[in-house]
Amino acid sequence: MYVNESNTLQLIALLKKHNIKKIVASPGNTNISFIGSIQDDPFFQIYSCVDERSAAYIACGLSEESNEPVVLSCTGATAARNYPSGLTEAFYRKLPIVAITSSQAFGRVGQLFPQFTDRNVISNDVAKESVQIPYPYSEEEKWSNNIKINKVLLQLKGKDKGPVHINIETLFSSDFSVKTLPEERAIMKFYNNDKLPNIKAQKVCIFVGSHSKFTMELQNAIDEFCEKYNAIVLCDQTSNYKGKYRILGGLVAAQSDYDAVCKYADLYIHIGEISGSYYLFKKGIFWRVNEDGEIRDPFRLLESVFEMNELDFFNYYNSLVSRKKNTYFDEWKMENKKIESMIEELPLSNAWMCQQTAHRLPQNSVLHLAILNSLRSWNLFDTPNSVYSYSNVGGFGIDGCISSCVGASLVNKQKLYFCVSGDLATFYDLNVLGNRHIGNNFRLLVSNNGTGFEMHCKGSIGSEFDYAEADRFFCAGGHFGSQSRLLLRHFAEDLGFDYIKAETKEEYLNNIEYFVDPNLHEKPLIFEVFVNPKDDEFAYNATKRTITSNKAVAKKVAKKVLGNKGYNSIKKMIKG
């Protein structure tokens, strides 16, 4: 029987999943929840040692001789202070030891509680990883604990293995009535020389976050993989994969009232870093392929990490299969084309500008997109295959978007560099326009709606307020000249920029060919477009509701008839 403390149950379940069975336990009160739960479990081999210093060295000898990881368990107070000498030995010999130190409630740090010591910080050469596992009071905390425990247990394997530390909070429960352990997700790691798992999936999605340019060799390997495994490459504007099976999926993924079947694959292979698009995956298996070997779990579906070069990964799987058949790509292309054809006429807005401009960008130019409305809008419509795109999605802040484009433009003075930015991001980064190194290959498109649209758009708490109320402090109405027609123009022209503007669709279309002209102009260029924020809001909602399912229609009708309160009551009754 196991204790009814969910974090302890998580830990025990994952020790089993990772096949860690040898334990050296030191007696005490604080670790009874853990030891009392496992002492009659036949899976574990437990040894007792009163002196924690000796216990740590016993674990070293036991691990070295058995070639297996060994767990240490101790109580509170100064018990854990006796582990460091043995763990230091394990650190320099790369022995896989797991020091589990049980603790009173973490909030007691520094509050003069008896038998309580602070274990937040340990010496550099005592453990490769050290984590705090609190008692979870929400699903978010349970997920976080799962990731942290998996991460430290994976540190016991591979090239950089060594001891790890888990400090786990206990409630001192005396209830040992739990009969079965929870089904905890174990995340596995694979290396170049390992036998890699088979791919049995019918549909595979290679999901690419922000990524540097692909070499032709890697791009060809991915194309071959897609042909053999019925796969597509799901991209945003920062992914920079330009191969045969590229899908810019922002428009399909954005639909709030329609769930396209093609969105769901059996296996997702995640390469690259943070995505510039808010894709949401609800089911399926996730693999992450990256040389850093780190656990990254934004969709909470991660099953395996492949610590290896992307080219090695795809070449390995290509060598196993000779068939060539791909229907999944056509499924995505048809869905994309259908939804794009159904978009209603948009008003002058960031989304409309992208719709009119993305395909017009000159061949071999470079595009930089500011956070967030510009990036989101330009993820809906694709650019020419030779255009590479970037955005500051590492920190996802509005600062520095224009500066990044300016920096890139210094590399090749004969290549055109375009930047698309909202007014807040532009004025935030305005100083860079005074930089004396800016050349005539730099062009900036500014969508000036006079506010912070992100805090107005549906889904934001700010959208519950009217524009005047939200603009007081949530947003930025009234700043930067309140859409002054002269402010940016004078600033730009005084600094030697060419400046053009538009306030209507007609003016925009009259100026766009000049803005995207593939020939270098005499001066760098700023194109400012004045947009009504409510038009931006309409365009945002229109692109999210291009197509509506019967289920969504029924839901809207039910809400209209019953009201939100009545609808939610019926929904709860059905679920119950």
For residue 194, being part of any structural domain is answered with no
Task: Report if pTM > 0.85.
Answer: yes
- The whole-angstrom separation of Cα 241 and Cα 253 is 18
pLDDT at 550 over 50: no
**Mean pLDDT in residue range 90-114:** 92
Per-residue pLDDT band for 565 (boundaries 50, 70, 90) equals low
Residues 369, 420 contacting (CB under 8 angstroms): yes
**Mean pLDDT in residue range 481-496:** 94
Report CA 42 to chain centroid distance, whole Å: 39
For residue 290, being part of any structural domain is answered with yes
The tens digit of pLDDT for each residue in 228-247 reads 999 999 999 999 999 999 99
pLDDT at 536 over 80: yes
Lookup result for tokens 């973490």: 106
- The whole-angstrom separation of Cα 320 and Cα 308 is 18
- The whole-angstrom separation of Cα 420 and Cα 525 is 12
CATH assignment of the domain containing 121: 3.40.50.970
Q: What is the pLDDT of residue 325?
A: 86
DSSP 446: E
Same domain, 410 and 537: yes
Task: Among 260-264, 457-461, 490-494, name the one with the lowest average pLDDT.
Answer: 457-461
Bridge partners (DSSP) listed for residue 169: 103
Higher pLDDT among residues 472 and 446, named by residue: 446
Per DSSP, the residues of 556-570 read: HHHHHHHHHHHHHHH
Structure tokens at 508: 């925009």
Same domain, 451 and 463: yes
Say which residues have a Cβ less than 8 Å from residue 564's Cβ, sequence separation at least 6. none
Same domain, 377 and 291: no
Backbone angles phi, psi at 549, to 5 degrees: -80, 160
**Burial bucket for residue 239 (CB in 10 Å: 0-12, 13-18, 19+):** buried
Structure tokens at 547: 């197509």
Higher pLDDT among residues 282 and 228, named by residue: 228
pLDDT at 269 over 50: yes
Q: What is the pLDDT of residue 549?
A: 46
For residue 1, being part of any structural domain is answered with no
- The whole-angstrom separation of Cα 417 and Cα 404 is 11
Same domain, 114 and 171: yes
If one counts every other C-beta atom within 10 angstroms of the C-beta of residue 559, the result is: 14
pLDDT at 430 over 60: yes
Structure tokens at 441: 């290959």
Structure tokens at 254: 């954005």
**Burial bucket for residue 342 (CB in 10 Å: 0-12, 13-18, 19+):** exposed
Per-residue pLDDT band for 466 (boundaries 50, 70, 90) equals confident
For residue 394, being part of any structural domain is answered with yes
**Burial bucket for residue 325 (CB in 10 Å: 0-12, 13-18, 19+):** exposed
If one counts every other C-beta atom within 10 angstroms of the C-beta of residue 494, the result is: 9
Higher pLDDT among residues 160 and 226, named by residue: 226
* Averaged confidence pLDDT in the chain: 92
* Helix (H/G/I), strand (E/B), else coil: 273: coil
Per-residue pLDDT band for 377 (boundaries 50, 70, 90) equals very high
Q: How large is the angle between the packed helices 6-17 and 139-154, nearest 10 degrees?
A: 30
Residue closest to 186 by CA, chosen among 71, 7, 18, 298: 18
Same domain, 552 and 535: no
- The whole-angstrom separation of Cα 101 and Cα 356 is 60
DSSP 372: T
Q: What is the pLDDT of residue 494?
A: 96
Per-residue pLDDT band for 44 (boundaries 50, 70, 90) equals very high
Q: What is the pLDDT of residue 454?
A: 75
* Helix (H/G/I), strand (E/B), else coil: 189: strand
For residue 415, being part of any structural domain is answered with yes
- Which of 305, 324, 341 terminates a domain? The answer is 341
Q: What is the pLDDT of residue 464?
A: 77
Q: What is the pLDDT of residue 280?
A: 84
* Helix (H/G/I), strand (E/B), else coil: 191: strand
pLDDT at 85 over 50: yes
Same domain, 275 and 258: yes
For residue 190, being part of any structural domain is answered with no
Same domain, 552 and 494: no
Same domain, 420 and 536: yes
pLDDT at 534 over 70: yes
Residues 173, 5 contacting (CB under 8 angstroms): yes
Structure tokens at 144: 């976080």
Task: Among 55-64, 66-75, 356-365, 543-552, name the one with the lowest average pLDDT.
Answer: 543-552
Percent of the chain topping pLDDT 70? 95
**Mean pLDDT in residue range 436-458:** 89
Same domain, 431 and 333: no
The tens digit of pLDDT for each residue in 167-186 reads 999 999 999 999 999 999 99
The tens digit of pLDDT for each residue in 18-33 reads 999 999 999 999 999 9
Task: Among 89-98, 155-164, 387-396, 468-477, name the one with the lowest average pLDDT.
Answer: 468-477
Q: Return the H-helix or E-strand segment holding 238.
A: none
If one counts every other C-beta atom within 10 angstroms of the C-beta of residue 461, the result is: 9
- Which of 280, 308, 341 terminates a domain? The answer is 341
Q: What is the pLDDT of residue 568?
A: 58
**Burial bucket for residue 82 (CB in 10 Å: 0-12, 13-18, 19+):** middle
Same domain, 132 and 42: yes
* Helix (H/G/I), strand (E/B), else coil: 86: helix
Domain that holds residue 245: 204-341
Per-residue pLDDT band for 398 (boundaries 50, 70, 90) equals confident
Same domain, 416 and 369: yes
DSSP 261: G
Q: What is the pLDDT of residue 551?
A: 47
pLDDT at 523 over 50: yes
- The whole-angstrom separation of Cα 340 and Cα 251 is 7
Q: What is the pLDDT of residue 553?
A: 44
Using CA atoms of 542, 529, 367, 244 in order, give the dihedral in degrees to the nearest 10: 30
For residue 188, being part of any structural domain is answered with no
Report CA 518 to chain centroid distance, whole Å: 35
Domain tally, the chain: 4
Same domain, 311 and 427: no
Q: What is the pLDDT of residue 563?
A: 59
Q: How many residues does the chain have?
A: 576
For residue 198, being part of any structural domain is answered with no
pLDDT at 571 over 70: no
Residues 433, 503 contacting (CB under 8 angstroms): no
- The whole-angstrom separation of Cα 120 and Cα 71 is 19
If one counts every other C-beta atom within 10 angstroms of the C-beta of residue 59, the result is: 30
Report CA 269 to chain centroid distance, whole Å: 13
Q: What is the pLDDT of residue 557?
A: 43
Percent of the chain topping pLDDT 90? 78
Q: How far apart are the first and last CA of the chain?
A: 30
Q: What is the pLDDT of residue 552?
A: 47
**Mean pLDDT in residue range 61-79:** 96
CATH assignment of the domain containing 269: 3.40.50.1220
Residues 504, 348 contacting (CB under 8 angstroms): yes
Q: What is the pLDDT of residue 119?
A: 87
- The whole-angstrom separation of Cα 497 and Cα 219 is 38
Alpha helices in 155-279 (DSSP H): 216-229, 250-254
Residue closest to 447 by CA, chosen among 519, 383, 356: 356
Q: What is the 3-state secondary structure (H, E, C) of 481-542?
A: CCCCCCHHHHHHHHCCCEEEEECCHHHHHHHHHHHCCCCCCCCCEEEEEECCHHHHHHHHHH
Bridge partners (DSSP) listed for residue 206: 233, 269
- Which of 277, 312, 341 terminates a domain? The answer is 341
- The whole-angstrom separation of Cα 177 and Cα 331 is 51
